Structure 1
Amino acid sequence: MMVVLRFAALYAAIVFAFGFVLGILRGLYLGLVMGESIAVLIEIPIMLALCWLVAARIFRGRGLTPPQGIEIGLASFLLLQLAESALFGVIGPYVFLDNVLFYLGDLSPPRAAGLVGQILFAVIPFIQILRSR
């Protein structure tokens, strides 16, 4: 179990750092110039490509099993949600439950696309582990 949590934490932390930088660029520049929907649709493929590369680097040749890939994906998804909630709790009024309810209460196209991107982020470890076998 500790192996899964270590890999999930590493994967989530690296992707969160990239997402933080891209999110700032999206929010401060792309979103204002092109609109939120277009900015999110530009950001998601970049983030998924980064997720793919990070996961390939982290998981390849580590002897992980496909069930561990599923566990890593789920744990990293939860860690990513907690990190987002912590960040927005610090710089804004949101807490974890607010972050989750924000998705459920506002599934506008940009938010729905972001949620799909985060679900794909969680599936990538499983796929990369399968590919490395």
Structure 2
Amino acid sequence: MGAIRAGAIYFLIVFAIGFVLGSARVLLLEPRIGALAAVAIELPLMLAAAWIVCGGILRRSQVRARRGADLGMGAVALLLLLAAEFALGHFGFGRDMTALFAAYGRSPGLLGLAGQIGFAAIPAVRCRWLSSRGHP
């Protein structure tokens, strides 16, 4: 499995988990504690899930064996995530690109964007972590 396929699978699994956790965040947490606190609670759970999912994909793929494929996997996953976020916002909630970018200007949006960047970096971090521990 190459970087593109690995990135797509990584995105799909983590997006599905994020859809469930995001729904719980919006419906249960945000009304009680506010958007920023709700995102701050959800984010570590999402990054932990991404770490675990990424590890499973790396064990079953050729990504670790190919130089730069870990970065490609993360880039593919991030591009798919941003596209899915825009599509969901546009078709699901009637938001345009301006509204999407405006959301990144507020604290919850910035924290979420930092999490998305972390999500994209996990394949490279995991590959380097495994290499430093002597795993091929």
The normalised TM-score by structure 2 is 0.85
Give how far 1:63 is off: 3.3
The percentage of counterpart residues that share the same residue type is 36
Are 2:110 and 1:112 equivalent residues in the alignment?
A: yes
Counterpart contact for 1:66–1:126, Cα < 8 Å: no
Question: Which consecutive segments of 4 or more residues in structure 1 shift more than 4 A?
Answer: none
Are 2:102 and 1:102 equivalent residues in the alignment?
A: yes
Q: State the partner residue of 2:13.
A: 14
Structure 1, gaps ≥5 residues long: none
Give distance in 2, aligned partners of 1:38 and 1:73.
Answer: 27
Q: State the partner residue of 2:90.
A: 89
Q: State the partner residue of 1:80.
A: 81
Give distance in 2, aligned partners of 1:100 and 1:90.
Answer: 13
Q: State the partner residue of 2:124.
A: 126
Give distance in 2, aligned partners of 1:22 and 1:98.
Answer: 25
The normalised TM-score by structure 1 is 0.87
**Secondary structure at 1:60 match in 2:** helix
Aligned residues: 129
The two structures, once aligned, show a CA RMSD in angstroms of: 1.8
Counterpart contact for 1:69–1:126, Cα < 8 Å: yes
Q: State the partner residue of 1:41.
A: 40
Letter in 1 for 2:43: I
Structure 2, gaps ≥5 residues long: none
**Secondary structure at 2:95 match in 1:** coil
